[in-house]
Structure 1
């Protein structure tokens, strides 16, 4: 089964092709270029490099977030369009799941953290259970202080992975015992990790309803927050 995977939840745009033997190719560009400009080019290039056409793909995997509102919409719209045109199945996978998969072999708690601004992160807790990624919590949008308190519930080593490390590494090192951090090669969202998780589901016949598939944001957009604040002020004036 040939799988095309697309990850667009962060500043890095990543695409990968996988089959039953593993990853055939992966292309990632983390240069803060607009996903709308580079995503289709990355897809076209990786197909050509593998002597494939889009019609050869049997199923698609796409990130559903959390992450960049714009990036998620672009990735989701692109892949849903391809699925509709080709009548192929789609499965959406959380970016947090994909990040955790980067560190699947870690013996302890795997904690992806994605920067959500204002000292907040998107996060969840995972563990390797017999070679399978087991989720120990729901996906959350929390402050770094809340994250530290939640981690104290686990009496195990913990590894952090994700773009939130750059901003919060010093604080986490000081406040979390027995913690470590992913290497720079594993510290970003990879289409290959996302694809590996999605491939397992697609091979079992599990896929999303294209009409219902949508991004998972976990928090309101800035425009929505400003609108809510404006309405609150307006109601108070009344």
Structure 2
């Protein structure tokens, strides 16, 4: 069984191929946000390095958000195009779930944070129990300062990761001036593990696919949590009832 994973939900563009036994190949680009130009080249590269063809794939996994609205759409379109052309099933993986999977076996709580702009982050909390990743609360978008306060109420140390870390770090620094001891309670993951990885997206998808939880290119949907800033401004001007948009 081979799973192709794709994630363009942030500044990082990444693709990987995994099997139940191993990671065959992974490619990560973290220098420019030109995903629409690079993604198919990245996919082609990991397939070549894996030594398999598109036809050998059993499913296509993609990070479906939350994250950059444009980035999510690029990754989804790329994955849907491949799945449609090959008639393969798709597995949509929440970006936060994929990030949490980067810290496999971590004994602390894990809090992936994705930059939501306006000093806010998308986040949730996870822990590993008996070799399984458990999500402890809902996916949310919150002010960074409010999340810091909430993390400090948890019973044990928390490790944060993701592109929302700089936003959270600012709030942490402000809090640390009043309570220096918080540095022992909230830690930042090493940069090598903090970025999105398609291998983690594919690993989550491998478990989902094995349990019969997957979509097609016609049924998969992105997960935004909230509307884009442009849509919110439009609604303020014209009224929400006229948008014709439903939440996913």
1:69 aligned onto 2:83? no
In the alignment of these two chains, the number of paired residues is 232
What do the CA deviations read for 1:111-160 (whole angstroms, capped 9, x no partner)?
A: 01111111100000001111111000111000012212322442111110
Q: Separation in 2 of the partners of 1:134 and 1:209?
A: 26
Q: Which runs of 4+ in 1 moved over 3 A?
A: none
How far 1:168 sits from its partner (Å)?
2.6
Candidates 193, 204, 208, aligned match of 1:201: 208
What do the CA deviations read for 1:174-230 (whole angstroms, capped 9, x no partner)?
A: 264511110010111100111111011112222124323111111211220110122
How far 1:170 sits from its partner (Å)?
4.4
Distance 1:170 1:227, change over 3 A: closer
Conserved 8 A contact 2:111-2:161: yes
The equivalences for 1:65-104 within 5 A come to: 65-104=65-104
Conserved 8 A contact 1:65-1:217: yes
Instruction: Return the TM-score normalized by structure 2.
Output: 0.89
The equivalences for 1:1-238 within 5 A come to: 1-172=1-172, 174=176, 176=182, 178-231=185-238
Instruction: Return the TM-score normalized by structure 1.
Output: 0.92
Query: Which consecutive unaligned segments of at least 5 residues does structure 1 have?
Result: 233-238
Q: Separation in 2 of the partners of 1:139 and 1:183?
A: 23
**Matched position secondary structure for 1:27:** strand
**Matched position secondary structure for 1:6:** strand
Conserved 8 A contact 1:18-1:196: yes
Q: Separation in 2 of the partners of 1:62 and 1:133?
A: 19
Q: Separation in 2 of the partners of 1:180 and 1:77?
A: 35
Conserved 8 A contact 1:104-1:127: no
